[in-house]
């Protein structure tokens, strides 16, 4: 059975926007799993997404204070439809990201940490979609509230189905 994913990060409410845009809420309402890769900034956004999402998986970011850090891990791992997913806020500079990810998450066979098929991350506000040499898909959905040098604010949607991630879409978000 296919599972609909909504990927968001760097919402920065209320620092960059007073609230999440309506498009994010509509996407959250139809998603089976909402993934937030950190920099929430306020607890109210976490509470609202928890109340509305069928399932929420989130991590804290560098702009999140003690209350959010107390409720959210730095790294989260979950499985959906046979797809092993990791979520983290920061992955370091773009240069060398794929090799660092392989070293950290390719699994025991590579002498690294827990094996994952997909890593969702944030921090830069810049959308990213690549695959590492060992086959880990790297996705950064950008930011739905702060476009930072991008033409528009963004989020991502995708489908997890029988161990495969498909239909990955970068979705423009109107503020």
Number of structural domains in the chain: 1
In which domain, by residue range, is 96 found?
Answer: 3-173
The reported pTM is 0.95
What gap in Å lies between CA 159 and CA 73, rounded to an integer? 24
Q: Where does the pLDDT of residue 112 fall: very low under 50, low under 70, confident under 90, or very high at 90 and above?
A: low
What is the tens place of the pLDDT at every residue in 41-87? 999 999 999 999 999 999 999 999 999 999 999 999 999 999 999 99
For position 136, which CATH number holds?
A: 3.60.21.10
State mean pLDDT over 127-140.
96
Q: In 20-149, where does DSSP find H-type helix?
A: 22-30, 43-52, 66-71, 97-105
């Amino acid at each position: 059975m296919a599972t609909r994913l909504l990927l968001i990060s760097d919402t920065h409410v209320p620092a960059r926007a007073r609230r999440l845009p309506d498009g994010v809420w509509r996407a959250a309402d139809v998603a089976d799993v909402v993934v937030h890769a950190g920099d929430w900034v306020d607890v109210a956004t976490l509470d609202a997404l928890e109340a509305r999402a069928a399932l929420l998986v989130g991590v804290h970011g560098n702009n999140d204070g003690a209350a959010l850090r107390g409720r959210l891990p730095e790294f989260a791992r979950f499985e959906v439809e046979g797809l092993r997913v990791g979520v983290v806020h920061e992955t370091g500079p773009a240069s060398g990201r794929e090799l660092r990810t392989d070293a950290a998450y390719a699994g025991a066979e590579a002498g690294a940490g827990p094996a994952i098929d997909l890593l969702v991350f944030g921090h830069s506000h810049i959308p990213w979609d690549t695959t590492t040499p060992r086959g880990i898909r790297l996705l950064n959905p950008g930011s739905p509230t702060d476009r930072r040098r991008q033409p528009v604010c963004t989020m991502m949607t995708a489908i997890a189905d029988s161990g495969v991630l498909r239909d990955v879409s970068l979705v423009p978000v109107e503020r």
